[in-house]
Structure 1
Amino acid sequence: MKKLWIIAAGLTLGLSACGQNEEPKVTEEETAVEEQNEQTESQNTDDNKEIIANHDFFEPFDGKIDHIHGLGYAGNQGAPFFAAHDGLKVYENGKWYKTKEQNNDYMGFNATKAGFYTSGHPGQDSNLPNPLGIKTSTDNGQTLDKIALEGETDFHVMGVGYENQAIFVMNPHKNSIMKTEKFYLSEDNANSWQEVQANGLKDVLISVAVQPQKVDYLAAAGQQGIYLSKDKGENFEKITDSGQGTSVFFTNDSLIYGTYDGTAKLVKHSLSDGSETEIPLPKMEEDAVMYFAQNPQNEKEMTFVSFNGNIYYTKDSGSNWDLIVEAGNPK
């Protein structure tokens, strides 16, 4: 148990290093993104799709996959993206791929329906400012658009809604927008920020999450357990009785969270009535779920990264898990 939290704490301690009557205008970029999403959703109906494999920004990869700081189904493409210290890695149809360029050290990575949001530091092949601040991409990371605080802050603890793209962060230090080391929420793509009180969230945190559609729901995983807010972060309730929290992930109707009390657990918590069901996990010794994601197009498909650097993948809601990476090494 201590071993797990030492690893988790390392992630958080690194924080300190239009008119009303006018029709809304749709930009060419927004139209392109919408068309891409429609095409992607059509492609996702094919179980043997090969989107990443046929993309000229990716190439096959067989090296070590470690120092992961987030994962998710970026761009709703049906393949999980893993954000590592040396760029993005993608798992599709049993094969691994990596980005050819912009191999940045991604932190606070969050997949969204249009792409992803991230923080972190530029890689050796990048001319981006250090730190990245908050950036977003709708083209798999080929371009990273500035959202906020470029060159000022590296956010390790950041959550972004998959559809609403609301941003919730724990600010590690004073910057030009955030004057205190507290929690901030933006509902308008970082055009404005509101400091939230986060009452009840006195804990050392490893991760936070935002519900895909309703910004009212926020969650956090901390040393003392799992916390849930239903009022945009003003108040958090601890919803676990024992063990440390290790991961949080929202679907439209549930919070899926990981805990560790000597045994790893993965639990699905209903947002409507608070009922809970446990998701089966593979056999794990002194290990737990650190990052988890579910395919928005297929709820039976799930994957997670463990604290010991293992990556597991299932297509049947956890009845059977495949170990696809062991201690950073692809199987």
Structure 2
Amino acid sequence: MSNIGRRRTMVPVVTLVSLVLAGCSSQSEERPQAANSNGPSVKLNPEINHLHGLHINADGTVLAGTHTGLFAVEPSGSTSRVGNTDDDLMGMTGVPGTNTVLSSGHPGRSSDAPNPLGLMESTDGGQNLTTKSLIGELDFHVLTSNGGIIVGFDGTTGLLVSTDSGTSWTAGASLPTASLAITDAGVWAVTTNGLQLSTDAARTFSVVPDAPPLSVVSAGTDGALWGVDVDGNAWRSRGGRTWQMHSSIGPVDALTASDYDNAYAATDQSLYALR
């Protein structure tokens, strides 16, 4: 168990819209007219309540972590519960291209686990979530992992980093962040000062020049980055230095990338397929 002091918690979130790429450009160029801006949508089942995060399992299933547990989302917008937990899964994410799901949060009504839940992990696509560490100590508002390291932010002072699958933790940069992603280039963080990058395992960060004013960011299996900005424009990048606007979908609560050609963005009412 880590000796990191106790910290407290609060909370961060599907309709399927196929968005076709319209003439893209780098951010420095004039923005193109987005395809399917405010296009047709499919309502999600009401059981999707306060969506906190998204993950794409190895078989392509989209998982949504919510205020009342984990759900699989069908292209039609219908949902089905995954596993038997009704925990409030804050900071939910996954290792890209795998069935490894990471989450944090608070016990649901059916649980007698200590509050908060610390870091929880599933290696079977969310069917079974088990506590890895920090139970009763903190919950993460933001999480990311590439399978090698895990970086989390608990909503208070700064980042925590684990290099042993979440068993032990060390302090990273004192950097409040709204969203995190990891590629071979380093750890990416959405901050009030814009998108920032760390090349030393989240110990220090520097601002990424000319990046869009993102509100969320996610990395795919091929190292591509997707982001949605504060105005609801979806962007993508192969390396995080040059960005192209993909489409306009409106503000979202959560984002997950499969690769450069595929991602999903969501609110607790709609899921947008970015293709």
TM-score normalized with structure 2 length: 0.73
Give the structure 1 partner of residue 166 of structure 2: 190
Give the structure 1 partner of residue 20 of structure 2: none
Structure 1 position 276 matched with structure 2 position 237: no
Give the structure 2 partner of residue 239 of structure 1: 208
Q: 1:116 to 1:302 in 2, by over 3 A?
A: same
CA distances 1:193-237 after superposition (whole Å, capped 9, x unpaired): 332236xx4xx42222223xx4x6111112332212222223322
Q: 1:96, CA displacement in angstroms? A: 1.8
2:65 to 83, 91, 104: 83
- What CA distance in whole angstroms lies between the structure 1 residues aligned with 2:155 and 2:273? 35
Give the structure 1 partner of residue 140 of structure 2: 155
CA distances 1:44-93 after superposition (whole Å, capped 9, x unpaired): xxxxxxxxxxxxxxxxx94342311110113x121110100011121124
- What CA distance in whole angstroms lies between the structure 2 residues aligned with 1:232 and 1:16? 25
Q: 1:233 to 1:224 in 2, by over 3 A?
A: same
Q: 1:270, CA displacement in angstroms? A: 2.7
Larger mean Cα displacement after TM superposition, 113-122 or 233-242: 233-242
What CA RMSD, in Å, does the superposition of the two structures yield over aligned residues? Answer: 2.8
Counterparts of residues 1-331 of structure 1 (less than 5 Å): 15=9, 62-74=45-57, 76-94=58-76, 95-99=78-82, 101-112=84-95, 113-161=98-146, 164-172=147-155, 181-197=157-173, 201=175, 204-211=176-183, 214=184, 217-239=186-208, 241=210, 244-251=213-220, 252-260=222-230, 263-271=231-239, 274-282=241-249, 284=250, 288-295=251-258, 300-306=261-267, 309-314=268-273, 317=275
Q: 1:78 to 1:115 in 2, by over 3 A?
A: same
Which of the pair has the greater relative contact order for Cα pairs under 8 Å at 6+ separation? Answer: 2
AA matched with 2:63 = F
Q: 1:242, CA displacement in angstroms? A: 8.0
- What CA distance in whole angstroms lies between the structure 2 residues aligned with 1:224 and 1:280? 24
AA matched with 1:295 = S
Q: Which runs of 5+ in 1 are unaligned?
A: 1-12, 18-60, 174-180, 318-331
TM-score normalized with structure 1 length: 0.62
| 8 Å Cα contact 2:211-2:241 kept in structure 1 | no
Give the structure 1 partner of residue 25 of structure 2: none
Q: 1:192, CA displacement in angstroms? A: 3.4
Q: Percent identity?
A: 24
Q: Which runs of 5+ in 2 are unaligned?
A: 1-6, 12-43
CA distances 1:135-179 after superposition (whole Å, capped 9, x unpaired): 101234343222111121111122222xx2421122456xxxxxx
Aligned residues: 233
| 8 Å Cα contact 2:53-2:91 kept in structure 1 | yes
Give the structure 2 partner of residue 29 of structure 1: none
